[in-house]
Structure 1
Amino acid sequence: MTLKTELDQARNNIKTDSYPISIRELVLLYKDGELDIHPEFQRFLRWTIKQKTNFIESILLGIPIPSIFVFQRDDGVLDVVDGLQRISTILQFMGELKDEEEKLMPPLTLEAAQYLPSLKDKVWDLENPNTVGPEIQKFFRQEKIDIKFLLRDSDSQAKYELFQRVNTGGTPLSDQEVRNCILIMINSEAFREFEELSKNEDFQTACPIPEKALMERYDLEIVLRFLILRSIPIDDVKEIGDLGQFLTTQMRLEFAREEFSLEKDRDLFNRTFCILREAADDSSLRRYDPNKKRFVGPFLISAFEMVALGVAYNIDLVEEYGAEWLREKICGAWSDERTQGIYGQGVSTARRLPKTLEFGRNFFSEA
């Protein structure tokens, strides 16, 4: 197939339109339910007050802002694919932003800005003595924003691909935060299931994740890794190049299915982390130092691959032998010659993953 043929086919899968609309029209679309910004996304929007103020200042100064991307659903509603933080900032400033329960969120109070320091403490509400005033309100509503439409006869996966590629504005989301937003668009029930699994106390104990990584929802990435990698054939793992892209692709394929159910996975997840906690509490996924005869260092993703996924693969046998046996096995894993050179700094994920998974599956099947 030639490049021209590939290009023609790809462009045929993505149909777009574009035109500017005023902020007044944008807000009316939102209030009438014709613009869906996914209130669930608010938990991933990490713009500071300063960033929000700078964005409002840019609009007031007439500085061009990046286009907003929306997807036209079959019911005619416009699904915001990129521009969530910008639209949310506008709506919050104007006191129109609602949360997941359809309740109005507290309106935005601005800070001093570089060119407009008098924005300090300004609000939209005309009854507030610090209001921006009716003239500025009128000017603000009339400002236009370029909207790019991904039309409903585009390929069904196009909006997820677009969201992943154009998520660049403001404070960049982590890879998992982007996946979370995509998952909400694909299957909000699956996302809620993920959230519930991440709150499992045994899981949280076994996976003591640093605060910064938790803010970027690394805990949900660990949950996703468990669900995607728990029984994947090792030969398939060897074909994985970019694990992040692989997780995103598999998530889109697995959780968009109508017959989706996490019932069996939930049970396996709970059993796995229950016995890991019984065996070694918060040390089960740390490295064991045979010389010091204790667990050392932080939570390791390589330990998760070897131990947690190895235990999950052999859960019936592991439960039969019990927590004390499992603790001895975990300690022994770190001095087994088969683990040498398959973890640690300088070992790429693509090179490590087939070895850690295969070792864990074999090691925890050995009585």
Structure 2
Amino acid sequence: MTQEEKPAAVEPRVEFDDSGRSTGIELTEDTNNGGRTTPFDPNRIEVQPRNTTISLLLQRLRRGALDLAPDFQRQAGIWSEANQSRLIESLLLRITLPTIYAAENEDESWAVIDGVQRLTAITRFVDPEAIDAEPLRLSHLEYLAEYDGCTFEDLPGRLQTRILETELVILLIRRGTPEEAKFNIFARINTSGLPLSRQELRHALIPGQARDLLAELAASDAFLTATAHSVSPDRMAEREMCLRFLAFKLTPPEQYTTQNFDDFLRTTMHRINELSEQELEKLRDSFIYAMVASVIVFGPDAFRKQFKNRTRRFPVNKALFEVQAVTLSDLSADKIVTLAPQRDVVSSNFMDLMDDPAFYDSISSGTGAAATVAYRFQSLKDLFQKVLDA
């Protein structure tokens, strides 16, 4: 982008959920422009097909050896009662179901990546207590309408057995396969709609307390207020935003040297899984402080691009979220109080900053490159210091 080409002339693109609705998040590119990731050894990739029965899968689920990650289901795409019932009808009619994709964890448990909704529907019908769900009553059946209204227990014994002995094909990515390879493989899978988002993949492949912390922060009143309730949870975009904040709290921007932002976020989830409760509480407090401070300093324009002579409200920008939130979290309460009555001054200076092509690019494209990360953090730090020194 040249000096003559004003950033304000560029309309931001947005991310969409499965139904084509805006997620409320500006679409940005997190990788380094033209960058390449370190290739993994294809000889270390082990993919193994497994044929197993529904009965055996349910045993795995009850033992905690099968992770369906129920909150991984996209809210916009959760199957209706009729769709779930039709799946059960397919089993009763001996219609083969599509392959299910899963990853094997170090403890030999399986994390289901593609097929969550199918297995959830089956479990809800056969053993709803295993996932703490309401029992499924069959409805809108096409060929076996005589079983409309039936639960699993209402079916004749022979049909119960038919379901329990149904074989499903699991394509299992074995443990020992490089994590980056797992992400690459599953990112290519598209059997039930849009390909999984990067955060959906992180959520599915990296179990542990990081999952719970991100869900907690994304649902907090402080986050919802700071983002004006405008971020859709359908593709876990709001959890990725929280993860970006935590990533730069655990690794200060000046220590960020990688060009692979996705790897950086994955590593952060693993680090969070190893933190003590005291360390988690410190992160929680810092996050809430940052959200409150963002509202105080930026008001309804927090985490959004602002331009002179432009009155429209832009979508939330992930790079702006991390840089504004992290930088404000590092300021003392006294400095936040000092900035509070100078919101207009902060806004004016921020719009001047948006006219800087280098800063604009640092929050719009190649946002994961070390140089752009350093530039946007230093630029915002300088902005606040300029206002505080005035």
In the TM superposition, structure 1's runs of 4+ consecutive aligned residues that sit over 6 Å from their partners are: none
Residue deviations 1:263-291 (CA, integer Å, cap 9, x gap): 44333322222222223433333444554
Query: Structure 2 length normalisation: TM-score?
Result: 0.69
Partner of 1:198: 218
Q: CA deviation at 1:205?
A: 1.7
Instruction: Select 1:221's aligned residue among 237, 240, 254.
Output: 240
- Counterpart-to-counterpart distance in 1, 2:306 and 2:50: 60
Question: Are 1:63 and 2:96 counterparts?
Answer: yes
Partner of 2:336: 319
Call closer, same or farther: CA 1:55–1:358 in 2, change over 3 Å.
Answer: farther
Give, as a single letter, the amino acid of the residue that structure 2 aligns with 1:124. T
- Counterpart-to-counterpart distance in 2, 1:24 and 1:223: 38
Partner of 1:328: 345
Call closer, same or farther: CA 1:283–1:68 in 2, change over 3 Å.
Answer: closer
Call closer, same or farther: CA 1:232–1:325 in 2, change over 3 Å.
Answer: same
Total equivalences in the alignment: 337
8 Å contact from structure 1 (residues 70, 78) kept in 2 = yes
**Relative contact order, CA 8 A, sep 6+: which one is greater?**
2
Give the secondary structure class of the aligned counterpart of 2:233: helix
Partner of 1:297: 313
8 Å contact from structure 1 (residues 69, 81) kept in 2 = yes
Query: Structure 1 length normalisation: TM-score?
Result: 0.73
- Counterpart-to-counterpart distance in 2, 1:340 and 1:41: 39
Give, as a single letter, the amino acid of the residue that structure 2 aligns with 1:331. S
Q: CA RMSD in A?
A: 3.9
- Counterpart-to-counterpart distance in 1, 2:180 and 2:197: 20
Call closer, same or farther: CA 1:351–1:91 in 2, change over 3 Å.
Answer: closer
Give, as a single letter, the amino acid of the residue that structure 2 aligns with 1:92. R
Partner of 1:250: 267
Call closer, same or farther: CA 1:25–1:275 in 2, change over 3 Å.
Answer: closer
Call closer, same or farther: CA 1:169–1:286 in 2, change over 3 Å.
Answer: same
Partner of 1:3: none
Partner of 1:108: 136
Residue deviations 1:44-80 (CA, integer Å, cap 9, x gap): 5743124434433443342352145352654x55554
- Counterpart-to-counterpart distance in 1, 2:66 and 2:181: 14
Q: CA deviation at 1:323?
A: 1.3
Instruction: Select 2:115's aligned residue among 83, 95, 100.
Output: 83
Give the secondary structure class of the aligned counterpart of 1:204: helix
- Counterpart-to-counterpart distance in 2, 1:165 and 1:65: 18
Question: Are 1:265 and 2:265 counterparts?
Answer: no
- Counterpart-to-counterpart distance in 2, 1:234 and 1:72: 30
Mapping of 1:1-367 within 5 angstroms? 10-11=42-43, 13-15=44-46, 17-31=48-62, 33=63, 35-38=65-68, 40-41=70-71, 44=74, 46-49=77-80, 50-59=82-91, 60-69=93-102, 71=104, 73-74=106-107, 77-80=109-112, 82-99=114-131, 103=132, 105-112=133-140, 116=143, 118=145, 121-127=148-154, 131=155, 133-151=156-174, 154=176, 157=179, 161=183, 164-165=186-187, 168-172=190-194, 173-183=196-206, 185=207, 187=208, 189-210=209-230, 213-229=232-248, 231-233=252-254, 236=257, 239-240=259-260, 243=261, 245-246=262-263, 248-257=265-274, 261-288=279-306, 290-291=308-309, 296-301=312-317, 303-305=320-322, 307-315=324-332, 318-319=335-336, 321-336=338-353, 339-340=356-357, 342-343=359-360, 347-350=364-367, 353-354=372-373, 355-366=375-386, 367=389
Call closer, same or farther: CA 1:342–1:233 in 2, change over 3 Å.
Answer: same
Give, as a single letter, the amino acid of the residue that structure 2 aligns with 1:215. D
Call closer, same or farther: CA 1:280–1:30 in 2, change over 3 Å.
Answer: closer
- Counterpart-to-counterpart distance in 2, 1:306 and 1:149: 38
Call closer, same or farther: CA 1:258–1:331 in 2, change over 3 Å.
Answer: same
- Counterpart-to-counterpart distance in 1, 2:227 and 2:263: 22
8 Å contact from structure 1 (residues 311, 360) kept in 2 = no
8 Å contact from structure 1 (residues 23, 141) kept in 2 = yes
Moved more, 136-145 or 115-124: 115-124
Gaps of 5+ in 1: 1-5
8 Å contact from structure 1 (residues 29, 35) kept in 2 = yes
Give, as a single letter, the amino acid of the residue that structure 1 aligns with 2:95. G
Give, as a single letter, the amino acid of the residue that structure 1 aligns with 2:122. I
- Counterpart-to-counterpart distance in 2, 1:317 and 1:215: 37
Call closer, same or farther: CA 1:351–1:268 in 2, change over 3 Å.
Answer: closer
- Counterpart-to-counterpart distance in 1, 2:128 and 2:234: 26
Q: CA deviation at 1:297?
A: 0.4
Residue deviations 1:299-320 (CA, integer Å, cap 9, x gap): 4315435533443354567336
8 Å contact from structure 2 (residues 183, 201) kept in 1 = no
Give the secondary structure class of the aligned counterpart of 2:168: strand
- Counterpart-to-counterpart distance in 2, 1:250 and 1:347: 23
- Counterpart-to-counterpart distance in 2, 1:123 and 1:143: 19
- Counterpart-to-counterpart distance in 2, 1:139 and 1:66: 19
Moved more, 265-274 or 218-227: 265-274
- Counterpart-to-counterpart distance in 1, 2:74 and 2:97: 25
